[in-house]
Structure 1
Amino acid sequence: MGKVLRVIELVRNVRFWFAPGRIEDEGETPDYRFSLANERTFLAWLRTSLALIGGGFAVDQFLPDLPWAWRVGLALGLLAAGALCALRAVNHWVRCERAIRRRENLPVSRFPALLSIGVALVALAMVVVVLAGWQE
């Protein structure tokens, strides 16, 4: 039952991604500073997403001597993390905006911890690559 409710909530949030004006129907208009702070957080997540995507392309383009499986694995890991981060950014923005308007607690998420662990794992793999040299 809990998973079904989460899916319904996600579908409802996705509607707001493409029609943000409809969010005005939720609760009361908050102090604009809260909405602007929420937007700055959204933009920070997007910058993180762009950095991850750029890192994925950099690994693929600038490490040609790296064995193909390592290069593609690291690049795809970074690209996937960037894509997930971008999607999570907009969903988090909507969830927070709705909570602010309803005067509810802001939603919590495991995503920052999972993203941090994923980036740390890619960084550790890069340390292995640097130490091993991978010269052919």
Structure 2
Amino acid sequence: MSRFPKVVFSQGSEPDARFSLANERTFLAWIRTALALLAGGVALEALGLGIQSGYRLTASILAILAGVLSAVQAWTGWKRVEHALRTGSPLPSAPFSLPLAVLLVSVAVLVLLGILLR
């Protein structure tokens, strides 16, 4: 049976299914986060909401960028954790957590400024 991606499934031994399923649930949580950020970025720009246009557009772009980055985190995180589970290595950290936090704080500040300076 061929499983994707081979780079992950061709190494190590099969871990306890509970751990692989927990890893998959984490992947899906990151995907839900990505979808919410993408929808929020689109809605922010589409609805306007009385926010000053320059701040609103910048916040929308950053929210969409954060959504894309969350989807990348979902995939790379799943792959790195599955590899660690299969090889008995320590679990890796989420490499995009800090950039995502900075992006989200930036979005919040831009929206706040856009409301206060309208």
Instruction: Indicate the TM-score class for this superposition, using the shorter chain for normalisation.
Output: 0.7 to 0.9
Shift of 1:100: 0.4
- Partner Cα separation in structure 2 for residue 97 and residue 89 of structure 1: 12
Q: Which runs of 5+ in 2 are unaligned?
A: none
Confirm whether residue 81 of structure 1 aligns to residue 66 of structure 2.
Answer: yes
Higher relative contact order (CA 8 A, sep 6+): 2
* More helix by percentage: 1
Residues 51 and 111, structure 2, Cα contact 8 Å, conserved in 1: no
Partner residue of 2:97 out of 112, 117, 135: 112
Partner residue of 1:34 out of 11, 14, 19: 19
Normalised to the residue count of structure 2, the TM-score between the two structures is 0.87
Normalised to the residue count of structure 1, the TM-score between the two structures is 0.76
- Partner Cα separation in structure 2 for residue 79 and residue 46 of structure 1: 13
Shift of 1:84: 1.2
Q: Which runs of 5+ in 1 are unaligned?
A: 1-17
Number of matched pairs: 116
Q: Report sequence identity in percent.
A: 37
Shift of 1:21: 5.2
The one-letter amino acid of 2:28's match is L
The one-letter amino acid of 1:45's match is W
SS where residue 34 of structure 1 aligns?
A: helix
- Partner Cα separation in structure 2 for residue 85 and residue 78 of structure 1: 10
